[in-house]
Chains A and B, each alone.
Chain A
Amino acid sequence: MNKKVSKKEIAQLLQKWGQQFNVLAPSRASGVAAMAEWDGKDTSFLDWYRNTVVPPKARFLPPMEEMFRFSKDEEGYNIEPPPKNEQKQLLFGIRPCDARAMAILDMTFEDAYKDPYYLEKRRNAVLVGLGCTNPCESCFCTSMGTSPTDSTNVDIMLIDIGDAFLVEEVTDKGKELTKGLKEATKNDETEAEKSKKTAYDKITRKLNTEGIKDRLLESFDDEEFWSRTAAKCISCGICTLLCPTCYCFDINDEAVRGEGTRFRSWDSCGFALYTKMPMENPRSEKWRRVRQKVCHKYEFYPMAFDVIACTGCGRCIRLCPVNWDITQVIESVPQKVKGAK
């Protein structure tokens, strides 16, 4: 049986959760919408929030992160790991597309090489989803295996039913946190179903990804196609930095007089320097970098993990300064005739 919480009681609920967790909620305090520490009272985001500009991945793979400190003395090199972060975080209001993105990122960070920095934060987190009621024109989540009210990858899902939210307890963690809430009525369930259908129907942008992996494989060496596709890209990298499933990073040391800190920071395959090596750069031309970005999401990731690394959140379309549109690119990948040159 699902539960229910009035919109007026959200602040009270977050305060209660705040006793156990560092509660994060959509905020514009930094100038752009992002998940930030909740101030303990403001729930105005329930009115203005469509989705964050900075994806929630930033809470697990921060734009810049200390990995360890090092120093050298007479005995040798010393490594000092950063203090263990035991703080549990609760992300309130994550959208289903971004929750799916977290599940996609987990595949990389939990693969052959476990990433302790990411996984520590991820294991200590609770995701509370908030179904979309007003998706953006650039959203295409329904074509990418999810929907505006999909509860698959969250612990708790909230569906807007007017003055209240229907509360779906998805995981055991979620059940624990919703203890004490009122049970939803049959009428609430009906309203939630209506709300889900309305949200689904508002996603008008569609993308047919059938056979895309093979089409990209066949078009890999089609320089003419990729050059045309990359023509207006200015290599600013914003589509990758703000993509909820992109995870490229760089590692650097900052050291002074025998001691220093090793950091990692977001990077982008859209930057020419990303693949620069002492003697060559395999992606010095822009078309090769654009091809990498598209193929990584729609060809290489499906080959490795059997899932497309795009959730249709639409950020790369909304935020691109030159209106480069991934859905147009995917639809224009040539369908080669077998055996033809």
Chain B
Amino acid sequence: MTISDIEKRPQFFAQDNVYTPHIAVIEKIIEETPGVRTFHFNFKDKKLAKEFRFESGQ
């Protein structure tokens, strides 16, 4: 299965596997201090991006 194929995405949800990776794009890199950077990611799949929750410690 190709995970960049968005049409097949429901199959991944159906698998209910929290360890399955999804494709994201680095949209921005901020140089906070020398050697420390903040990366801004966004999922390619808009539905997934909307549903995604980030929890502390994740």
Contact = CB atoms under 8 A, between A and B. Distances in A.
A116 interface: yes
Interface in B1-27: 1-5, 15-21, 23
B17 A77 contact: no
How many residues of B sit at the interface, in one of the four size bands?
A: 10 to 19
A68 B19 CA distance: 9
A75 interface: yes
B36 interface: yes
A48 interface: no
A115 interface: yes
Contacts of A115: 18
A116 B16 contact: yes
A244 B3 CA distance: 36
Nearest to A79: B3
How would you classify the secondary structure of chain A's contact residues: helix, strand, loop or mixed? Answer: strand
Contacts of B15: 81, 116
B20 A79 contact: yes
B1 A78 contact: yes
B18 to A, nearest CB: 5
A258 interface: no
Interface string B32-47: 0000100000000000
A76 B23 contact: yes
B54 to A, nearest CB: 13
A75 B20 contact: no
* Pairs of residues from A and B, 10 with the lowest C-beta to C-beta distance, nearest first: A76-B4, A113-B18, A76-B2, A116-B17, A77-B3, A75-B2, A79-B3, A78-B2, A67-B19, A79-B1
Given A75-B5, A117-B19, 9 more contacts: A68-B19, A70-B21, A75-B4, A77-B2, A77-B3, A79-B3, A81-B15, A116-B18, A262-B19
